[in-house]
A and B are shown apart, each in its own frame.
Chain A
Amino acid sequence: MKVETLIIGSGVAAAALAQRLLAKNPNASILMLEAGRKVKMQDAAIWQDYVVSGKLPYTQYYDLPYPDRDQPGENLSAGTTAVPLDGSRALTYGGSTIHWGGWSFRLKPEDFALRTNTGHSLDWPISYADLEPYYSQAEHYIGVSGDSNDPTVPRHCDYPFPAFPYTLEDQPAAEAMAALGMAYSHLPIARHGITDTTSRHAPCQTTGTCKYCPFGARYSANNFLDDMQNWGNFPGLQIRLNSIVQEISMRSRQQAGGVVYLDRETGQQVVVEADRIIVAAGTLESTKLLLRSRSDHWQLGIGNDHDLVGRNIVTHPYFIFSGSAPGNPLKLQPEMNFPTLCSRHFDSPAEQAKGKFILINPPGSPTVNLLSKMQAGVSRLDMDRYVAGPRQIQLHGMVEIFSEPQNRIANIDKLNHLGMQETLVDFGQAAGFDPRMQEIQGHVQRLFEAMGATMNAKPTISWRADHAACTLRMSDDDSEGVTDRHMRVHGVDNLYVCSNATFPSTGAVNPTLTLAALALRLGDHLNHATGQP
């Protein structure tokens, strides 16, 4: 078979890009190949199962943990710092947006000039100003509720929906930050609000079950793709699930010809020819696909003549500081399941060389769990004492780390439980990381003191690969980056990557909004290139 545009993956990058291409030409021929299956969304029975038992229907599509003494597991952690893959991504239709938190930050202008400002990693080949219009479009596309007056980043267009007011649970952190002169702001979050225009995407009903929204109010790419398929008039759009792309085949060194994929239902290898290919399969899979697409034209894998493909991987270490405070007179408890207050005070030019970080007041702080008490048979009187009694509190955050070439990912010649090639992760934290965490701990310590709380000695730090990025970095110089400023693979005319892998750096914030902006920008670029009316 033959298509104009082949998109590998069905997450936010694929969905936003397809949307933009089809907006220009509703008859565009687009085939989306997704390795995973479909998870039922907005299903009342599954939702209630989650409410009463915490079970989610998509965790079966997570990577297994790394092998250890007790379990065979999958993938391989070869470095000195384990970067867990289990839980970091969902290998399913809709990609990781099926489980994401929806935190929708923009990078800051200085993030685009990391090397110029600090000597670390790379500069972006585009500036904040280049991406700014697409940030606005992305906020409208995924439906972000945010504070349009927040001065953290320059903007020329309001958020589509107003910010969620700070919860009462934010009060201790907000007061402590105010007392210490640390700026805080509303966390921009992908939750649909009430619209005055016709929308098939329901508004958030603050149900607090965001990991499985009964209304589809949090952006999930599969909901949007379903909507395009069910109600859009796009005769040329096809989405195939259970289709694991094995390799990209090259017509010549400069021309990608198509892909070979495994149809998991029939067990057959299927060949698809395409005029252009967009790899939008997440950082790990996009990178591995280029690496394993070896031919006489590209003996080390496509775009890998400089041995850059798969190197420089970063993720965000996510830290959790815990502590206890004497009482809970306001009976603060988790009313929502998403945060409303964040601080980008340390996400600043002054902190850039050391590694910027953000702080989040998490929605489960203090940790009051009424259900576990009731289920344990605790009496009403004791439950009241528990709610108002000493409280366990937390502050969360994440910190920017910098690319280093020895940190890399690659394929392993072994299939995981979903039939996809396993991943080698070779990563070691930099020498400067522990001292940096000490500094961060000092700042958080002052916040805990201002909240009247006692901090536990050490934070827990997760290196999980949720925000894995930078393995196919954009650069105008092909000796430094695998892709150019339009995410086209250097040296190939018709092969693009639309993934966090193309980020030259990730700042201190979640990457998804930036990825959605890049996808819309790529859509415009391709629409312009094909000269469609």
Chain B
Amino acid sequence: MYQTPAKHPLSAELPALDDATYAAMWALFCHIGKYWQNMPDPEPFRSQLYSFMLNRINLRPVYRDYYLFAAATLRGLIEQHGEDGAYAFLFTDTDANKAPPETALAVTRQKVANEFMALQLSLGGFKAFGAINYCGFIGGANIPGQAAPYRTLEADHEG
């Protein structure tokens, strides 16, 4: 508890993220679950998305700009493609995944959407694909007498 957290000196000087940007990022997060049908109820993760974004900004202040930029990019995409269409385009456009990101769309995809996918899977999105634990998911402890926090080999296989 006597260790200073990882924080870029510039991050401390930044104004807090505005509510509208957070709301746009929350919508993006929710649409990941909608597109892949892997998170029926994202509500409990509102605060975790927020703390994640704060942490990203703390580590690299440019993330504040990424989020602002992504919110603006998404507004444009939604105007153009409608809501579901905009996210589907963002999630699947192959040019948007070319590194390094050189367009607004590519930044939104690689620095924001792709990272939110990683976060979303680790918060529970992985469960739709058959497992009960995942790297990055805090599955819980191995407590004697209780079910393990991951799928296990049947007891009769115990060597």
Partner-binding segment picked from B17-25, B64-72, B73-81, B150-158: B150-158
A166 touches B129 (CB 8 A): no
A166 touches B142 (CB 8 A): no
B103 at the binding interface (Cβ < 8 Å): no
B134 touches A331 (CB 8 A): no
Nearest CB of A to B150, in Å:
4
A166 touches B153 (CB 8 A): yes
Q: A45-B58, A167-B151, A193-B141 are in contact. Are A377 and B5 (CB under 8 A)?
A: no
- Give the CA-CA distance A170 to B157 in the complex, in Å: 10
Chain A positions 152 through 165: 1 when the CB is less than 8 Å from some CB of chain B, otherwise 0: 00000000011011
Q: B135's closest neighbor in chain A, by CB?
A: A208
B144 touches A377 (CB 8 A): no
Q: Which residues of B contact A226 (CB under 8 A)?
A: 2-3
B122 touches A377 (CB 8 A): no
Nearest CB of A to B2, in Å:
5
Q: Which residues of A contact B26 (CB under 8 A)?
A: none
Using a CB-CB cutoff of 8 Å, which residues 323-338 of chain A contact chain B?
Answer: 330-331, 333-337
Q: A167-B150, A168-B153 are in contact. Are A44 and B118 (CB under 8 A)?
A: no
Q: Which residues of B contact A415 (CB under 8 A)?
A: none
- Give the CA-CA distance A511 to B4 in the complex, in Å: 33
B121 touches A370 (CB 8 A): yes
* A contacts with B, residue count (CB < 8 A): 61
Q: A172's closest neighbor in chain B, by CB?
A: B153
- Give the CA-CA distance A161 to B129 in the complex, in Å: 31
B55 touches A178 (CB 8 A): no
Main secondary structure of the interface of B (DSSP, over half): loop
Partner-binding segment picked from A48-56, A400-408, A438-446: A48-56
- Give the CA-CA distance A41 to B149 in the complex, in Å: 24
- Give the CA-CA distance A52 to B151 in the complex, in Å: 23
- Give the CA-CA distance A301 to B48 in the complex, in Å: 57
B42 at the binding interface (Cβ < 8 Å): no
Nearest CB of A to B135, in Å:
3
A387 at the binding interface (Cβ < 8 Å): yes
A207 touches B139 (CB 8 A): yes
Q: Which residues of A contact B1 (CB under 8 A)?
A: 230
- Give the CA-CA distance A186 to B32 in the complex, in Å: 38
Q: Which residues of B contact A203 (CB under 8 A)?
A: 141-142
Q: B58's closest neighbor in chain A, by CB?
A: A45
Q: Which residues of A contact B117 (CB under 8 A)?
A: 371, 374-375
A335 touches B59 (CB 8 A): no
A51 touches B119 (CB 8 A): yes
A175 at the binding interface (Cβ < 8 Å): yes
Q: Which residues of B contact A457 (CB under 8 A)?
A: none
A204 touches B142 (CB 8 A): yes
Nearest CB of B to A287, in Å:
32
Q: A164's closest neighbor in chain B, by CB?
A: B142
Please name the 4 residue pairs, one residue from A and one from B, whose CB atoms are nearest each other, closest first: A331-B130, A208-B135, A377-B92, A45-B55
